[in-house]
């Protein structure tokens, strides 16, 4: 058993952010990672993925993105940056080591892994994220479907789908971008949309909406929100005539009340208007040839991509955490309280606009400040 002060679980952006801040503050730590490289999720995302947030608001602590990177950083360059970050701060994770259980032992946390390594840590910082376990729903008759069904985690590019009729289930940011990726290569693609969505343009007249929104947020009396709504209506337009149910909620309200992140549009809305992407409602059931929708319409499909999200599933590691999770099974705070004292959670906040990397920036600062204050007492 190795006794340590701080154990970071996960070497993705959140884990690296904590490690970078601790290195900067000269706070000792160990970091474990179940894969063999840092940023494993980013290495395995689909090929065309870019950050939807501007690079100046998306870097990890104490190391900006290189100046020659484009404003919306592509997946491959994010991976290069994460490698550079680990090297810059001499972050050397213990690779191929998966977390199995965290349990209280006196004033410390006993951390068991799937290897012969066991840790007794004063503080444990979990950064395994909200996208750890794919959410894979099932439908009546699904076992009879003769086509192929995959989760979006397995999607890389349109090549395996050329010539096929494809249904993308779910229109969050991932589903919207995968549908666009397929449509741009001429694939016959339909999206199944279960509930009203909120779409915001990524750019207006070449200016990132993220930067405009920060300016509008400073305008008093809700005028900024009103202007934002008018911009969305003008740029995105009315997609209901194309079968896309649109939310009447403001993006921030929808995120807070439903947990649904607004879709940052990079061309999907126009592709729907142009008929390159078709929209259908919720699924009723599967058959050998295809799918019956709740509208009563039936269509044949060759392939189905489930863009149905993920679960954090922290209860798997810490059974007693259940009472301190919110309705979406995510930590209510990055700082564990009561029986979870000295447990920390970074990268699980799904209720703020501005992108997960920006949230990681602020959460990692808060967590490391708390740890620094407690160790100096």
Q: What value does the mean pLDDT take over residues 9-23? A: 98
pLDDT digits (tens, 9 = 90+) for 57-95: 999 999 999 999 999 999 999 999 999 999 999 999 999
pLDDT for the residue numbered 235: 73
Answer yes or no: is pLDDT of 227 > 60.
no
pLDDT for the residue numbered 224: 45
Ranges 173-187, 211-225, 321-335: which has the least confidence: 211-225
Q: What's the whole-number average pLDDT of the chain?
A: 90
pLDDT for the residue numbered 236: 82
Confidence of residue 250 (pLDDT cuts 50, 70, 90): confident
Answer yes or no: is pLDDT of 48 > 90.
yes
Q: What value does the mean pLDDT take over residues 350-363? A: 82
Confidence of residue 247 (pLDDT cuts 50, 70, 90): confident
pTM for the model stands at 0.91
Answer yes or no: is pLDDT of 133 > 80.
yes
Delineate the domains of the chain, giving CATH numbers in brackets.
2-132+312-375 (3.50.50.60), 135-306 (3.50.50.60)
Distant-in-sequence, close-in-space partners of 240: CB < 8 Å, separation ≥ 6: 246
Answer yes or no: is pLDDT of 210 > 80.
no
pLDDT for the residue numbered 327: 85
Answer yes or no: is pLDDT of 215 > 70.
no
pLDDT for the residue numbered 223: 43
């Amino acid at each position: 058993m190795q006794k340590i002060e701080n154990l970071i679980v996960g070497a993705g952006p959140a884990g690296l952010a904590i490690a970078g801040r601790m290195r900067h503050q000269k706070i000792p730590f160990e970091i474990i990672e179940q894969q063999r490289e840092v940023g494993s999720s980013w290495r395995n995302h689909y090929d065309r993925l870019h950050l939807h947030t501007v690079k100046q608001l998306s870097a990890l602590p104490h190391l900006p993105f290189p100046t020659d990177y484009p404003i919306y950083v592509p997946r491959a360059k994010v991976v290069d940056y994460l490698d550079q970050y680990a090297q810059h701060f001499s972050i050397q994770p213990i690779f191929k080591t998966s977390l199995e259980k965290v349990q209280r032992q006196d004033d410390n946390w006993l951390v068991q892994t799937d290897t012969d390594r066991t840790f007794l840590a004063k503080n444990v910082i979990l950064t395994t994220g909200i996208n750890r376990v794919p959410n894979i729903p099932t439908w009546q008759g699904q076992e009879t479907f003769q086509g192929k069904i995959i989760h979006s985690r397995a999607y890389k590019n349109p090549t395996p789908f050329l010539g096929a009729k494809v249904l993308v289930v779910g229109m969050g940011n991932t589903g919207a971008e995968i549908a666009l990726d397929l449509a741009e290569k001429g694939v016959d693609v339909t999206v199944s949309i279960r509930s009203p969505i909120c779409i915001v343009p990524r750019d207006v007249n070449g200016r990132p909406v993220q930067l405009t929104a920060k300016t509008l947020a400073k305008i008093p009396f809700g005028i900024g929100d009103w202007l934002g709504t008018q911009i969305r209506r003008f740029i995105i337009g009315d997609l209901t005539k194309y079968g896309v149910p649109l939310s009447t909620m403001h993006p921030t309200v929808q995120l807070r009340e439903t947990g649904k992140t607004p879709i940052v549009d990079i061309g999907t809305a126009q592709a729907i208007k142009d008929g390159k992407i078709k929209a259908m409602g919720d699924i009723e059931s599967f058959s050998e040839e295809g799918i019956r929708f709740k509208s009563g319409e039936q269509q044949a499909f060759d392939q189905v991509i489930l863009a149905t999200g993920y679960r954090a599933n922290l209860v798997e590691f810490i059974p007693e955490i259940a009472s301190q999770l919110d309705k979406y099974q995510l930590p209510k705070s990055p700082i564990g309280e009561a029986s979870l004292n000295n447990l920390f959670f970074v990268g699980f906040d799904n209720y703020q606009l501005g992108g997960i990397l920006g949230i990681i920036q602020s959460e990692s600062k808060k967590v490391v400040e708390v740890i620094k204050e407690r160790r100096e007492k």
